[in-house]
Structure 1
């Protein structure tokens, strides 16, 4: 069978027009007569889409209308996991190949319709937006009869959809540098007592979660993080619970998981007695002023006349 295959391949190469390339791929193009899909090079050779996104885009384009293309359906079809497929769908949506439109069904509930465009560039140049077809409302069982002399008016044409103005979403390339990790918390002073207790807590984690087996180098590196928790008066059992609860199955990098939780779950310092004391309500004191007319003292927020002088001025004005 192998010899026949090689002979067939040699004959096919001999029938190709023109000289063969010295290196690289050689195409043997046999025209399709059924079950084929036309895919543009803008998708097959996209410079910013990942290989998973390009493959899923080609797969969706080859499916008939009405096929399920959600994350669950694609995960059941391919070996990639939900996270990779979800990221690929987001890439296709960011570059205009995939659109999601919300429509109201006949029963009043909202549903999401997925629309795939094989040429998003041409769609944007035309200034149109893909809108999923509306689902007609449910027809009542007994519609009121319309008399013949008063025919029903024709339905008014629906207005054209207003183009959406959404800013383009930029997906960072897979080779983009990752942001630096936040530093591991450290105590104000790493005393011998804090070091000993933190080392014991880290070494004892595997007794509470068998997946968290740390090496001596990992324990030495993570000691300041546990010491920072102890310095903030967190009990050892609370630290163990924070580091061993809801672990991924199986954890690939136990030391990284412990470092991440020590950093992002660090509780604030306990408030002191002054912060917990209720605020003191001081009585409102209105300052004393000297009257501009009689020079007697009276309480007021602003200088001026006392009550008696104000009455005399009012009577004189009257």
Structure 2
């Protein structure tokens, strides 16, 4: 019983200080008792209901013993309240968190070239794996680039190059910024090309002159033909 009393005093102190121990080492460091005496006291306390020991897998593929101490024999640890998952994403009013089918016309949108370009960005950089919702939000901006005669491969390179190092937690934000702020201007409308009048060899003096049809130059033509021009 002396060992049991000593053990109870030990348990009372450590139950308030630690509650659960992974090994017997703290007891050995705290009290002058030998490890064998402490081990026998723990066995008696376990039989009396002052503690419980459970085997568990420790780091490094080792098997350890988790010891739980109680103030009263046979007491059970107080059950913890179950953790409640809290979403940190603020959704816009009226924007449901459902699947892709919840958006009208989404299937048709994903078949457009702009959406397919966005879906293929993950082949250039795995960090640019976008959700269906992100693709639906960014597709109109990509379509605006394509409407301004920017080739699709060039748009993809602009979006996927020179990205920040490390993990991209919100790649859609980066893409939205680039699509909005790096949008190139529309190409100017080209003026109608003016045809070049070919050179002809004068049939009178053999000098070159410009005309749509062969004939004489201005100096070799009769005065009446020059006046009609």
Q: TM-score if structure 1 supplies the norm length?
A: 0.25
Q: Which has the higher strand share?
A: 2
Question: Which is bigger in relative contact order (C-alpha 8 A, separation at least 6)?
Answer: 2
Q: Which has the higher helix share?
A: 2
Structure with max Cα Rg: 2
Q: TM-score if structure 2 supplies the norm length?
A: 0.35
